């Protein structure tokens, strides 16, 4: 932890909160400066027992302790949860508000919590649950560089972070990184099926697909080469990989990805209108 720890409260103790808090404590964040609230007891007991953080069933109580409030409930509960906080916590404008809920725009939180809040929206993705997340972040213009550095460090505990310019870019990041694990699983499952179709048993097929995906991702991360050049490096002219790649290109894989990402962006924008 290089940034000064602050008192931070998580509203909602679900999967994402458990991973983020776990990552923060593992990176040296003092657990006595972390509060978590949740209606049901089991998740709180686990967090208190394993990570020694403060817990409560009362959202307002944990929020009152905090300089930073992380809203981590399902989007459909957000309006009610925020309305209760607004009623019960006097100085919300003095606190940094962070939300990880998908789809709800900062403007909407101003309706929920007051026009003068300062706010960061984070879009984590599911691999955050295993410490390999890709979180997109966007801030309103009241958020300071110190606030940004602090939140970056908190989310670096569950993977990588990427600041984007505005909420439209966050929708695009959501369509690539948020939905991306599903695209990769779909592709991995189809490779598995192809191997099974040729006689492999499912477990062996899965083992080779997932290890290959991991290896390719690690190579991409370690390399300065463009992704297309990495692909060419493992594609000898006239070889078997070249024959396989020809099949993907025949179906215009670039168009498939372009269509998929555009459709997901459009859906993100439609869903934002529901709130
Ligand atoms: N999981 C992901 O990969 C992912 C990715 C990107 C964004 N997100 C966003 O992150 C947020 C949390 O997701 P999650 O996966 O952690 O969901 P989750 O596991 O369902 O956790 C939500 C938690 O909120 C609690 N809760 C319900 N009502 C509450 C209230 N009134 N006050 C305080 N807490 C309340 C629930 O408690 P009970 O179980 O006791 O009802 C539950 O523990 C969502 O907004 C989601 O859109 C998640």
Question: Best substitution site from 35, 74, 103, 274 to test ligand 1's pocket, by max atoms within 8 Å of Cβ?
Answer: 74
Average per-residue pLDDT in the chain?
A: 96
At residue 3, does pLDDT exceed 90? no
- Name which residue sits closest to atom 20 of ligand 1, judged by CA: 14
At residue 230, does pLDDT exceed 80? yes
Domain boundaries along the sequence of the chain:
8-172, 180-272
Please state which CATH number belongs to domain 8-172: 3.40.50.720
- Give 157-212 pLDDT, tens digit per residue: 999 999 999 999 999 999 999 999 999 999 999 999 999 999 999 999 999 999 99
Interval 127-137 mean pLDDT:
95
At residue 227, does pLDDT exceed 90? yes
Question: Best substitution site from 11, 16, 89, 109 to test ligand 1's pocket, by max atoms within 8 Å of Cβ?
Answer: 16
Query: What was the pLDDT predicted at 194?
Result: 98
Distance 78 CA to ligand 1 centre (A): 10
What confidence category does residue 101 fall into, taking pLDDT thresholds of 50, 70 and 90?
very high
Query: What was the pLDDT predicted at 74?
Result: 96
Reported as type and span, the H/E element at residue 118 is strand 118-123
68 with 129: CB under 8 angstroms? no
What confidence category does residue 275 fall into, taking pLDDT thresholds of 50, 70 and 90?
confident
Query: What was the pLDDT predicted at 82?
Result: 98
Query: What was the pLDDT predicted at 110?
Result: 97
At residue 272, does pLDDT exceed 90? no
Domains 8-172 and 180-272 share a fold: no
| Beta carbon of 77 within 6 Å of any ligand 1 atom | yes
What confidence category does residue 134 fall into, taking pLDDT thresholds of 50, 70 and 90?
very high
Query: What was the pLDDT predicted at 34?
Result: 97
Architecture of domain 180-272: Orthogonal Bundle (1.10)
- Give 13-50 pLDDT, tens digit per residue: 999 999 999 999 999 999 999 999 999 999 999 999 99
Interval 204-233 mean pLDDT:
98
Interval 206-220 mean pLDDT:
98
- Give 141-151 pLDDT, tens digit per residue: 999 999 999 99
| Beta carbon of 136 within 6 Å of any ligand 1 atom | no
User: When comparing pLDDT for 257 and 273, which is higher?
Assistant: 257
What secondary structure does DSSP assign to 216-237, as a single string? HHHHHHH--S-HHHHHHHT--T
At residue 78, does pLDDT exceed 90? yes
Distance 77 CA to ligand 1 centre (A): 9
What secondary structure does DSSP assign to 36-50, as a single string? EE-SSHHHHHHHHHH
Distance 14 CA to ligand 1 centre (A): 5
| Beta carbon of 72 within 6 Å of any ligand 1 atom | yes
| Beta carbon of 47 within 6 Å of any ligand 1 atom | no
Question: Best substitution site from 57, 73, 75 to test ligand 1's pocket, by max atoms within 8 Å of Cβ?
Answer: 73
At residue 58, does pLDDT exceed 90? yes
- The burial of 98, by beta-carbon neighbours within 10 Å (0-12 exposed, 13-18 middle, 19 or more buried), is given as buried
Please tell me the number of Cα atoms within 13 Å of 235 on its side-chain side: 12
């Amino acid at each position: 932890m290089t940034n000064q720890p602050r008192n931070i409260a998580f509203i909602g103790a679900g999967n994402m909160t458990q991973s983020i808090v776990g990552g923060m404590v593992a990176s040296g964040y003092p657990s006595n400066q972390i509060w978590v609230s949740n209606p049901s007891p089991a998740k709180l007991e686990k967090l208190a027992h394993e990570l020694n953080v403060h817990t409560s069933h009362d959202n307002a109580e944990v929020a009152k302790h905090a300089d930073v409030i992380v809203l981590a409930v399902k989007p459909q509960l957000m309006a009610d949860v925020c309305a209760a906080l607004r009623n019960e916590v006097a100085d919300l404008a003095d606190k940094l508000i962070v939300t990880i809920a998908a789809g709800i725009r900062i403007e909407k939180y101003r309706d929920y919590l007051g026009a003068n809040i300062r706010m960061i929206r984070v879009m984590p993705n599911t691999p955050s649950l295993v410490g390999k997340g890709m979180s997109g972040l966007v801030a309103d213009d009241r958020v300071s560089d110190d606030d940004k550095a602090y939140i970056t460090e908190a989310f670096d505990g569950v993977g990588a972070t990427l600041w984007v310019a505005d909420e439209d870019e966050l929708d695009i990041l959501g369509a690539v990184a948020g939905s991306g694990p599903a695209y990769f699983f779909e592709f991995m499952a189809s490779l598995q099926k192809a191997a099974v179709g040729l006689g492999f048993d499912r477990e062996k097929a899965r083992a080779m697909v997932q290890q290959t995906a991991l290896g390719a991702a690690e190579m991409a991360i370690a390399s300065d080469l463009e992704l297309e050049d990495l692909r060419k490096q493992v594609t000898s002219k006239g070889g078997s990989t070249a024959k396989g790649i020809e099949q993907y290109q025949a179906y215009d894989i670039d168009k498939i990805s372009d269509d998929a990402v555009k459709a997901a962006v459009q859906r993100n924008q439609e869903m934002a209108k529901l709130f």
